[in-house]
Amino acid sequence: MVKGLYIHIPFCHQICHYCDFNKVFFKDQPVDAYIDSLGKELALWKQEGALDNPLETVFLGGGTPTSLSPQQLEKLLGYIHQYVPMAANLEWTSEANPDELTKDKMQVLFDGGVNRLSMGVQSFDEDLLKRLGRTHSNGDVARAVEAARQVGFTNLSFDLMYGLPGQSMAQWEDTLEKAFAFDLPHFSAYSLIIEPKTVFYNLMTKGKLNTVTEDLEADMYDKLMTEMDKRGLKQYEISNFASPGFESRHNLLYWDNAEYIGAGAGAHGYVKGVRYSNAGPLKKYMAPLDEGRRPVLNIHEVPLNEQMEEEMFLGLRKTAGVSLSGFQGKFQQPISEVYGVILKKEIDKQNLVIEEDFVKLTKKGRFVGNEVFEQFLLG
């Protein structure tokens, strides 16, 4: 049963140097027609019966949802209300760029039902921000948070990044201090991953990117966990920290391996045991919808062994880990039967631990999470 909805807004006024998501420059794009296409896609999901039950979460991501005008946002939210049944305690998140987050846009979002804002702050070092291709300043962040609170938002999150080219530990500590000064209930913090087809990747291949060492990156992650814990922000996933009750319920759907619809150009979804992705280029996304068809590019029916793999490498991202009884209930076989040898090996290495009904990463294991997850690939 579908529990969440992700909607992709691929437009950006500026392309960040590290971003490999499906995105296009805003200027001269068919933005209004794209929003209508999203409405058509949601209508098709409704017809197919995937939107019969009230959803627990909606997430507007990108690109940049806040690149839209207040009128365009209002139109988008209208389509969502038209086709999407919502649970009474719905968590509805929008990603946001601090410099684009005007009070008008926030009022439209808040009045339309959005109750959580996730701001792409990345760093409070303005030289690093320029290096990342970000367009906001620290002043923009302060103004955006103040305006959001005036409008009525209480559930606010910052996205932060570490391991940035040329970043020192002192700069990372300064960013954390400045972030904590806003007294927010949620933070996400990611180490930079340099992806192909990005500005950073091109610089790296030419030897022009001053990347940090693995040791420094590990020290930055350790610092992050220590400082979050000091402030009562509990780590509930490898990169996410929250005050109790403010965990991102939408992201938890992904890590719980639950079903969700992905709508929009290049969006991915997981419905009725099938993972799919939509066409990425705008014309290829919009044209099928004009003919009454969903713009699906790839479909993959997930076989049992892959479902078990995903259960492990998604679930182990959570601090709570993977439930042994939950695994058995879902797959009709004990986890020890499928993964006994691997579990023993990783427990012996002190990367994993079994506590009561859960297998989870140790603190040591969090530093080598990806290496641990790879062990659970049955192929």
Q: How confident is the model at residue 131 (pLDDT cuts 50, 70, 90)?
A: confident
Q: Which range has the worst mean pLDDT, 197-201, 277-281, 337-341?
A: 197-201
Average pLDDT, rounded, for the chain: 92
**pLDDT higher at 191 or 185:** 185
pLDDT at residue 196 tops 90:
no
Provide the sign of the torsion angle of the four alpha carbons 255, 259, 262, 263, taken in this order: negative
Name the pTM for this structure: 0.94
Question: Residue 17 has what pLDDT?
Answer: 54
- Greatest mean pLDDT range, 35-44, 59-68, 121-130, 208-217: 35-44
pLDDT at residue 334 tops 90:
yes
Residue linked to tokens 């490999």: 20
Question: Residue 14 has what pLDDT?
Answer: 65
pLDDT at residue 209 tops 80:
no
Question: Residue 379 has what pLDDT?
Answer: 66
Q: What is the pLDDT of residues 246-285, one digit of tens each?
A: 999 999 999 999 999 999 999 999 999 999 999 999 999 9
Question: Residue 164 has what pLDDT?
Answer: 87
What does DSSP say about strands 24-25 and 55-62: parallel, antiparallel, or unpaired?
unpaired
Beta bridge partners of 277: 268, 298
Q: Residue 85: CB partners within 8 Å, gap ≥ 6?
A: 51, 52, 53, 54, 55
**pLDDT higher at 200 or 6:** 6
Q: How confident is the model at residue 229 (pLDDT cuts 50, 70, 90)?
A: very high
pLDDT at residue 15 tops 60:
no
Beta bridge partners of 11: 24
Q: What is the pLDDT of residues 143-155, one digit of tens each?
A: 999 999 999 999 9
pLDDT at residue 235 tops 90:
yes
**pLDDT higher at 214 or 82:** 82
Q: How confident is the model at residue 212 (pLDDT cuts 50, 70, 90)?
A: low
Q: How confident is the model at residue 158 (pLDDT cuts 50, 70, 90)?
A: very high
CA distance 28 to 316: 43
Question: Residue 146 has what pLDDT?
Answer: 98
Burial string for 214-224 (b: 16+ CB within 10 Å, else e) reads eebbeebbeeb
CA distance 99 to 143: 9
pLDDT at residue 57 tops 70:
yes
pLDDT at residue 356 tops 60:
yes
Strands across the sheet containing 234-237: 234-237, 240-242, 186-191, 155-162, 116-122, 86-96, 55-62, 2-9, 259-263, 268-271, 274-278, 296-301
pLDDT at residue 19 tops 60:
no
pLDDT at residue 23 tops 70:
no
